[in-house]
Amino acid sequence: MTVYKKLSKARLDLLSVKMEKSGHNKFAGFHYFELGDFIPHIHKIFNEVGLVGVFCFEGNNATLTVHDTDGNGSISFVSPVVAATKVEKDGSQKPESIQDLGAKHTYMRRYLWLMAMEITEHDAVDAGTGDETKQFKQEKEEVTSEGEDRELFVTKMIDWANEAQDRQGLTSLWKSNQSKIDEIKKNAPALFKQLQSKFAEIKSKFGE
Secondary structure (DSSP) of 3-20:
HHHHHHHHHHHHHTS---
d(CA 194, CA 191): 5
**Within a 13 Å sphere around the CA of 195, how many CA atoms are in the beta-carbon half?**
29
Residue 73 β-bridge partners: none
d(CA 88, CA 101): 18
Q: What is the pLDDT of residue 82?
A: 64
CB contact at 8 A, 24 and 31 = yes
Confidence band, pLDDT 50/70/90 cuts, at residue 20: confident
Q: Name the phi and psi angles at 60, rounded to 5.
A: -95, 15
Residue type, 187: N
CB contact at 8 A, 49 and 174 = no
pLDDT in tens, 123-137: 444 444 444 444 443
d(CA 74, CA 63): 12
Per DSSP, 81 falls in state P
Note the helical H segments in 16-97: 35-49
Confidence band, pLDDT 50/70/90 cuts, at residue 140: very low
Q: Residue 37's domain spans which residues?
A: 3-204
Q: Indicate the number of domains in the chain.
A: 1
d(CA 107, CA 196): 21
Residue type, 5: K
Torsion sign (Cα): 40, 44, 45, 49? positive
pLDDT in tens, 58-92: 888 899 999 999 988 999 999 887 655 555 556 56
Three-state SS at 120: coil
Structure pTM? 0.54
